[in-house]
């Protein structure tokens, strides 16, 4: 298996088996250098300075936007809005689209597998507009059946918030099918791609998503840069989320004329270094290619799952087919709290996440309170996975059980 750890300063000489990639990825040297280069070579306030350095900063920022456009296969760069993260992108849509377009009598369809970031903004919209939240329910393996989709979408479905890959289940959801169905009744769909963007190619035009959100930090970019894709006609018709500097054409004592897309939605000084780092992350991902990424992640996931399934008292959440997990493995160990599991694993330098993973309604639906999550990236090694397995094998004994 190709060794990618050499590209990651934090991992290359480290004993740590970092298996919390769904929370945030590690950064390759290329990204760290790009962010540094922005401040060393191009630093000025982007979109403002008319001097050469200011224009360099603007060019780098807009080049990054073009790279994201190509990454998502969007039609136009003005459809790419830079935000802080997925959470902010979804809130932008909730405040600017949801509050102004939804009303009592409308239904907002939300996938039961939503991260809280793709649920709480819609609860807020429902509270303020009188629209009702309806859940699209999944099976115990996390799948959404055609029947569930068919029954959940009604003529009242004016908006749907769905997840491309859940951070608990890991499988690719049939978002195209949901979008087609919701469009059929005149509704609008937002796709949360926080977990899919690092693992599988995304084509917003083929998918026909109206809005799509992801975070740079899960894709090896710096923290604090995120993306909202929106169809131009929808974004144009929306009022700004935040107001202030740089999102205006002109201002008078009484009011303002807002800037054109995308700047209408990017109030205040932007994250130039973060955007340039995101471009470097996408370039790095592209240099490896999603085919190689999927192959390595699927092989490591299959190894982890096969071995986990052999251990008595261990249960993997969701599908039992490793191909349906995209590197995300949530599991429970009978009689052992995930916090104990995570701290025992930490003792062996295996980093995993324990808790409700910001998806409490989903866990309640699946009948579990908390789980342990190992999330695998292409830069992990077989050794990382085997260390996890060795430790999980011993956990019940360490907790005083006979087997």
CA dist 195 and 376 (Å) reads 12
How does strand 17-18 pair with strand 211-215? unpaired
Tell me whether residue 138 or residue 314 sits nearer to ligand PMP (CB atom): 138
| Residue 289 in tokens | 């290619």
Q: How far is the CB of 174 from ligand PMP (least distance, A)?
A: 16
Q: Which residue of the set 358, 368, 370, 399 is catalytic?
A: 358
CB 380, CB 303: distance < 8 Å: no
Shortest Cβ 327–ligand PMP spacing (Å): 12
The nearest distance, CB 264 to ligand PMP, in angstroms, is 21
Find the shortest distance in angstroms from Cβ 392 to ligand PMP: 23
The DSSP letter of residue 281 is: H
| CA 174, chain centre distance (Å) | 16
Alpha carbons within 13 angstroms on the beta-carbon side of residue 205 total 10
| Nearer to ligand PMP (CB atom), residue 115 or residue 171 | 115
C-beta of residue 319 within 8 angstroms of C-beta of residue 142: yes
CB-based contact 264:127 (threshold 8 Å): no
> Which C-beta is closer to ligand PMP: that of 282 or that of 395?
282
Give dist(CA 301, CA 380) in Å, integer: 10
- Min dist. Cβ of residue 24 to ligand PMP (A): 8
Select 49 or 361, whichever has its Cβ closest to ligand PMP: 361
**Contact residues for ligand PMP (CB under 6 A)?**
85-87, 115, 117-118, 163, 167, 192, 194-195, 215, 358
Does the annotation mark 358 as catalytic? yes
Which of 215, 377 has the CB closer to ligand PMP?
215
**In the complex, least distance from residue 193 CB atom to ligand PMP, rounded to whole angstroms:** 8
Find the length of the chain: 403
For tokens 């369809």, name the residue. 109
Residue (215 or 371) nearer to ligand PMP, CB: 215
- Whether 371 and 330 have beta carbons less than 8 Å apart is answered as yes
Instruction: Reply yes or no: is the peptide bond before residue 52 cis, omega within 30 of 0.
Output: no
SS3 call for 132: strand
Spatial contact of 262 and 92, defined as CB atoms under 8 Å apart:
no
- Residues with catalytic function: 358
């Amino acid at each position: 298996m190709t060794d990618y750890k050499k590209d990651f300063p934090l991992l290359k000489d480290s004993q740590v088996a970092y298996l919390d990639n769904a929370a945030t990825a590690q950064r390759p040297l290329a990204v760290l250098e790009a962010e540094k280069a922005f401040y060393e070579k191009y630093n000025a306030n982007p979109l403002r300075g008319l001097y050469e350095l200011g224009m360099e900063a603007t060019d780098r920022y807009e080049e990054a936007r073009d790279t994201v456009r190509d990454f998502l296969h969007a039609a136009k760069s003005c459809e790419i809005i830079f935000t802080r993260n997925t959470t902010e992108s979804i809130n932008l849509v909730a405040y600017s689209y949801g509050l102004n377009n939804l009303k009592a009598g409308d239904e907002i369809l939300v996938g039961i597998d939503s991260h809280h970031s793709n649920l709480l903004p819609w609860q807020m919209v429902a509270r303020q507009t009188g629209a009702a939240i309806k859940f699209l329910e999944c099976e115990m393996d996390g799948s959404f059946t055609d029947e569930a989709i068919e029954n959940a979408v009604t003529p009242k479905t004016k908006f749907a918030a769905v997840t491309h890959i859940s951070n608990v289940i890991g499988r690719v959801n049939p978002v195209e099918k949901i979008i087609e169905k919701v469009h059929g009744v005149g509704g609008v769909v937002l796709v949360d791609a926080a977990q899919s963007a690092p693992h599988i190619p995304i084509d917003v035009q083929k998918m026909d998503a109206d809005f799509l959100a992801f975070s740079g930090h899960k894709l090896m970019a710096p923290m604090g840069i995120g993306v909202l894709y929106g169809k131009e006609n929808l974004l144009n018709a929306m009022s700004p989320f935040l107001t202030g500097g740089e999102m205006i054409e002109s201002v008078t004592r009484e009011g303002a004329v807002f800037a054109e897309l995308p700047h209408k939605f990017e109030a205040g000084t932007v994250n130039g270094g973060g955007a340039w780092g995101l471009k470097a992350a996408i370039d790095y991902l592209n240099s490896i290619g999603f085919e190689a990424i999927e192959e390595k992640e699927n092989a490591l996931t299959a190894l982890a799952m096969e071995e986990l399934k052999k251990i008595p008292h261990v249960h993997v959440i969701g599908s039992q087919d490793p191909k349906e997990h995209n590197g995300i493995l949530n599991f429970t160990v009978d009689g052992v709290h995930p916090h104990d599991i995570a701290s025992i694993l930490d003792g062996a330098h295996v980093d995993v996440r324990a808790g409700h993973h910001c998806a409490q309604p989903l866990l309640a639906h699946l009948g579990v309170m908390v789980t342990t999550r190992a999330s695998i990236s292409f830069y992990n090694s077989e050794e990382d996975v085997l260390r996890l397995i060795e430790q999980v094998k011993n956990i019940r004994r360490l907790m005083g059980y006979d087997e």
